[in-house]
């Protein structure tokens, strides 16, 4: 007889917590100097604006009016330093911190270029912007659309995975001049869609270039490059974290002996800075034993929500996001984004959280790069990132734009403390926050009972726990994140539920089996 599946039901009221450990009004995380992490305040911002005015740029009236409508008057540093080179037609490789205005820096010259060339839909695609994630592509498309709102003869659109290929093909057949795309889907159209015209391409922009050139995109990008016209094509690479790989790629793309190589301009706004993250970001770490992690997170979220804050929490796997969202949704509404969701769910969640005044978004690294969500107060890294670069992009979702402010907290197990050395080497310094044991709510058994009593939650907990161990095992910093030294009993409590029961064989055997 098949087991009847139960849907998660609303949780019974929490047990009365002894007032002495009723953390919920106290500061669960406290900085050593006694100043608990706080969110946005006034004054002393990032100072990314220059005294250069958009009104002094040699751009068309149409673009200038759109920029004025967006209420931008002064250029940011990356805009002031890269736009002149881009408008001269140089190939540019540019780097500037998160939230510093790179999107306008590459879009304005690209739109101007097509305007000057009098591009129209029948010319096909003249500019391609490659983005690593679908949400970032949608966001970049929306900015381009706003900038082009007074243009009547040039068109803008996007093609991304998870959306009907035929619908996109129809749009491409009509002619999309500025096309924002994810690499896999762009290649799909290049291979399968004869009505996609890109023979007149004038500019290729690769946003988050270091990510796009990583292993999982490399093959796609290589194929895309083979198909794109090279003659008279400008190539532009932007990111907050440029790598040697991007440099090598630039050399390869432009060709050592080609004339273009001589025109490659490098713009590094923060090259001489001693900090890899922005000024308005307050960042710290907290060492928390495995078995307390979820309870600390729960308390923290409850408290920040009571103060009407906007929080993003990063996990290492889709299954972890899914399970924690199901569990937290019994207690408190939260949003979640990960790669296992259907695209329409991802897009709708992204826009809901974008618009929300306060709330929680649980996510994987799919939301780590480029997303410009207004007024995020806190970034919590429940699971540590794979490498410093990922750390920089995750925390970059707060403290954005001029005078942006925000806070970030990294959860570490005692054995993971050495990660701070790697972060320090990448110019990231974190303050220490102590968590107060006496304020941790005594809810573990209560939560475990909820999870074990509900089939769906129970299954999700098992999957989340397995995924947590798998991602631990595949972590880049193997010397620190050593699965053989991980306390499995404690780890299972950080995903409250059946935990270790889902590992039936001995620890070593099970790990080897994976
Ligand atoms: N000239 C400007 N004046 C004021 N605000 C600006 C200006 N240019 C951009 N911004 C704002 O700064 C914020 C960050 O911009 P953007 O998303 O382009 O950053 P980014 O450098 O691409 O960040 P990331 O590296 O995270 O992708 C946006 O909210 C944008 O509206």
Q: What is the 3-state secondary structure (H, E, C) of 152-211?
A: CCCCEEEECCCCCHHHHHHHHHHCCCEEEECHHHHHHHHHHCCCCCCCCCCEEEECCHHH
Residue at 432 is within a domain? yes
Check: pTM over 0.90? Answer yes or no.
no
- Quick: pLDDT tens for 150-171: 999 999 999 999 989 999 999 9
pLDDT at 215: 75
Model confidence at 492: pLDDT above 80: no
pLDDT at 23: 32
Q: Average pLDDT of 318-342? A: 90
pLDDT at 338: 92
Are 118 and 249 part of one and the same domain?
A: yes
pLDDT at 45: 41
Residue that finishes a domain, picked among 268, 302, 324: 268
Are 257 and 299 part of one and the same domain?
A: no
Say if residues 389 and 263 touch (Cβ distance below 8 Å).
no
User: What ipTM does the predicted assembly reach?
Assistant: 0.99
SS3 145: helix
Are 173 and 321 part of one and the same domain?
A: no
Q: Average pLDDT of 98-117? A: 97
Locate all alpha helices (DSSP H) within 256-357, ordered by sequence. 259-263, 293-306, 318-331, 343-355
Q: Average pLDDT of 318-347? A: 90
Answer with the residue of higher pLDDT: 2 or 255: 255
Q: Average pLDDT of 221-245? A: 89
Say if residues 150 and 66 touch (Cβ distance below 8 Å).
yes
Question: Closest Cα partner for 217 from 290, 323, 133, 127?
Answer: 133
In this structure, what token pair is assigned to residue 238?
């932007």
Tell me, using a 6 A CB cutoff, whether residue 52 lines ligand 1: no
Model confidence at 21: pLDDT above 70: no
Model confidence at 489: pLDDT above 50: yes
Here the CATH number for the domain that contains residue 391 is 3.40.50.300
Say if residues 323 and 459 touch (Cβ distance below 8 Å).
no
Residue at 478 is within a domain? yes
Model confidence at 36: pLDDT above 50: no
Rg of the chain on CA atoms, in Å: 24
Atom number of ligand 1 nearest to Cα 370: 27
Residue at 5 is within a domain? no
Are 254 and 310 part of one and the same domain?
A: no
Residue at 21 is within a domain? no
Q: How far is CA 69 from the centre of its chain?
A: 27
Answer with the residue of higher pLDDT: 438 or 132: 132
pLDDT at 378: 96
What's the helix, strand, coil split of the chain in %, to 5? Answer: 45, 15, 40
Which of 36-45, 465-474, 479-488 comes out lowest in average pLDDT? 36-45
Say if residues 477 and 419 touch (Cβ distance below 8 Å).
yes
- Quick: pLDDT tens for 175-188: 999 999 999 999 99
Residue at 31 is within a domain? no
pLDDT at 109: 98
Angle subtended at Cα 345 by Cα 343 and Cα 347, rounded to the nearest 5 degrees = 70
Residue that finishes a domain, picked among 268, 289, 316: 268
Model confidence at 123: pLDDT above 80: yes
The residue nearest atom 7 of ligand 1, judged by CA position, is 101
Buried-exposed string 306-331: b where 16+ CB fall within 10 A, e elsewhere: eeebbbbbbbbbbbbbbbbbbbbbbb
Residue at 13 is within a domain? no
Which of 62-76, 195-209, 237-251, 368-382 comes out lowest in average pLDDT? 237-251
Q: How many residues does the chain have?
A: 514
Are 328 and 263 part of one and the same domain?
A: no
Q: Average pLDDT of 344-360? A: 94
Tell me, using a 6 A CB cutoff, whether residue 45 lines ligand 1: no
Which of 167-181, 396-410, 456-470, 494-508 comes out lowest in average pLDDT? 494-508
Task: Find the distance separating the first CA and the last CA of the chain, reported in whole Å.
Answer: 31
pLDDT at 35: 31
Tell me, using a 6 A CB cutoff, whether residue 389 lines ligand 1: no
Question: Residue written as tokens 């050399």?
Answer: 251
Tell me, using a 6 A CB cutoff, whether residue 402 lines ligand 1: yes
The residue nearest atom 16 of ligand 1, judged by CA position, is 101
Are 359 and 460 part of one and the same domain?
A: yes
Tell me, using a 6 A CB cutoff, whether residue 240 lines ligand 1: yes
Are 303 and 234 part of one and the same domain?
A: no
DSSP state of 39: -
Structural domain that includes position 426: 281-512
296 contacts: CB under 8 Å, gap ≥ 6: 28, 29, 286, 288, 411, 435, 440
What mean pLDDT value characterizes the chain?
Answer: 85
Model confidence at 257: pLDDT above 70: no
Q: Average pLDDT of 290-317? A: 92
Answer with the residue of higher pLDDT: 446 or 413: 413
Model confidence at 252: pLDDT above 60: yes
Say if residues 343 and 161 touch (Cβ distance below 8 Å).
yes
Task: Give the mutation target among 354, 372, 374 for probing the ligand 1 site: most ligand atoms within 8 A of CB.
Answer: 372
The band of 400, judged by pLDDT with boundaries at 50, 70 and 90, is: very high
Distance CA 296, CA 299 (A): 5
Model confidence at 63: pLDDT above 70: yes
Distance CA 398, CA 99 (A): 8
Say if residues 402 and 76 touch (Cβ distance below 8 Å).
yes
- Tell me how far the alpha carbon of residue 241 lies from the centroid of ligand 1, in angstroms: 16
Distance CA 46, CA 62 (A): 30
pLDDT at 493: 63
- Tell me how far the alpha carbon of residue 76 lies from the centroid of ligand 1, in angstroms: 8
Sheet holding 335-337, edge to edge: 29-31, 431-435, 281-287, 406-412, 378-381, 310-314, 359-363, 335-337
The band of 452, judged by pLDDT with boundaries at 50, 70 and 90, is: confident
Which of 76-85, 317-326, 477-486, 500-509 comes out lowest in average pLDDT? 500-509
pLDDT at 47: 79
Are 111 and 196 part of one and the same domain?
A: yes
Buried-exposed string 458-470: b where 16+ CB fall within 10 A, e elsewhere: bbbbbbbbbbbbb
Residue that finishes a domain, picked among 244, 268, 292: 268
Tell me, using a 6 A CB cutoff, whether residue 103 lines ligand 1: yes
Which of 192-196, 212-216, 418-422 comes out lowest in average pLDDT? 212-216
The residue nearest atom 27 of ligand 1, judged by CA position, is 370
Residue at 485 is within a domain? yes
- Quick: pLDDT tens for 265-276: 889 998 888 899
Distance CA 94, CA 78 (A): 8
Atom number of ligand 1 nearest to Cα 136: 27
The residues facing 337 across adjacent strands are: 363
pLDDT at 259: 53
Are 287 and 222 part of one and the same domain?
A: no
Q: Residue 407 is inside which H or E element, if any?
A: strand 406-412
Angle subtended at Cα 167 by Cα 165 and Cα 172, rounded to the nearest 5 degrees = 90
- Quick: pLDDT tens for 410-438: 999 999 999 999 999 999 999 999 878 88
Residue at 15 is within a domain? no
pLDDT at 508: 40
- Tell me how far the alpha carbon of residue 191 lies from the centroid of ligand 1, in angstroms: 34
Structural domain total, the chain? 2
Tell me, using a 6 A CB cutoff, whether residue 100 lines ligand 1: yes
In this structure, what token pair is assigned to residue 250?
């630039």
Are 250 and 119 part of one and the same domain?
A: yes
Are 262 and 319 part of one and the same domain?
A: no
The band of 340, judged by pLDDT with boundaries at 50, 70 and 90, is: very high
Are 259 and 207 part of one and the same domain?
A: yes
Q: What is the 3-state secondary structure (H, E, C) of 415-461?
A: HHCCHHHHHHHCCCCCEEEEECHHHCCCCHHHHHHHHHCCHHHHHHH
Say if residues 341 and 513 touch (Cβ distance below 8 Å).
no
Tell me, using a 6 A CB cutoff, whether residue 266 lines ligand 1: no
pLDDT at 40: 31
pLDDT at 303: 87
Which of 209-213, 299-303, 486-490 comes out lowest in average pLDDT? 486-490
């Amino acid at each position: 007889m098949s087991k009847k599946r139960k849907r998660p039901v609303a949780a019974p009221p929490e047990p009365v917590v002894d007032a002495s450990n009723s953390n919920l009004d106290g500061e669960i995380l406290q900085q050593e100097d006694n100043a608990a992490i706080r969110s946005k305040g006034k004054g002393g911002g990032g100072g990314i604006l220059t005294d250069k005015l958009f009104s002094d740029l040699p751009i068309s009236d149409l673009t200038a009016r759109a920029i004025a409508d967006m209420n931008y008057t002064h250029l940011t540093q990356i805009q002031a330093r890269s736009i002149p080179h881009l408008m001269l037609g140089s190939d540019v490789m540019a780097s500037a911190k998160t939230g510093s205005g790179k999107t306008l820096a590459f879009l304005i010259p690209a739109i101007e270029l097509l305007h000057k060339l009098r591009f129209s839909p029948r010319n096909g695609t003249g500019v391609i912007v490659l983005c690593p994630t679908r949400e970032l592509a949608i966001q970049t498309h929306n900015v381009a659309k706003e900038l082009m709102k007074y243009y009547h003869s040039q068109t803008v659109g996007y093609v991304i995975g998870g959306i009907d290929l035929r619908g996109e093909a129809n749009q491409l057949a009509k002619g999309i001049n500025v096309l924002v795309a994810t690499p896999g889907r762009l290649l799909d159209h290049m291979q399968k869609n004869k009505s996609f015209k890109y023979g007149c391409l004038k500019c290729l922009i690769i946003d988050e270039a270091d990510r796009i050139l990583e292993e999982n995109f490399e093959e796609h990008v290589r194929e895309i490059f083979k198909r794109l016209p090279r003659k008279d094509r400008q190539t532009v690479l932007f990111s907050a974290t440029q790598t040697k790989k991007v440099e090598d790629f630039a050399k390869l793309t432009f060709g050592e002996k080609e004339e273009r190589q001589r025109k490659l301009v490098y713009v590094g706004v923060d090259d001489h800075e001693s900090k890899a993250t922005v000024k308005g970001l307050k960042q710290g770490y907290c060492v928390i034993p495995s078995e307390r992690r979820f309870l600390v997170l729960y308390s923290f979220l409850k408290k920040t929500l009571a103060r009407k804050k906007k929080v993003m929490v990063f996990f290492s796997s889709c299954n972890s996001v899914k399970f924690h969202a199901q569990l937290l949704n019994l207690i408190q509404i939260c949003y979640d984004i990960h790669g296992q969701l259907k695209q329409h769910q991802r897009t709708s969640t992204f826009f809901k959280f974008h618009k929300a005044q306060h709330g929680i978004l649980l996510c994987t690294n799919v939301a780590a790069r480029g997303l410009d969500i207004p007024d995020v107060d806190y970034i919590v890294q429940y699971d540590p990132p794979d490498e410093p670069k990922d750390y920089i992009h995750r925390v970059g979702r707060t403290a954005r734009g001029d005078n942006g402010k925000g806070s970030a907290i990294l959860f570490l197990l005692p054995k993971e403390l050495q990660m701070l050395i790697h972060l320090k080497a990448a110019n990231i310094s974190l303050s220490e926050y102590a968590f107060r044991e006496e304020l941790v709510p005594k809810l573990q058994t209560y939560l475990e009972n909820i999870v074990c009593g509900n089939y769906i939650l129970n299954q999700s907990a098992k999957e989340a726990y397995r995924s947590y161990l798998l991602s631990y095992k595949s972590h880049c910093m193997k010397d620190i994140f050593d699965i053989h030294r991980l306390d499995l009993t404690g780890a299972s409590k950080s995903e409250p539920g059946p935990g270790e029961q889902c590992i039936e064989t001995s620890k070593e055997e099970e790990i080897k089996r994976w």
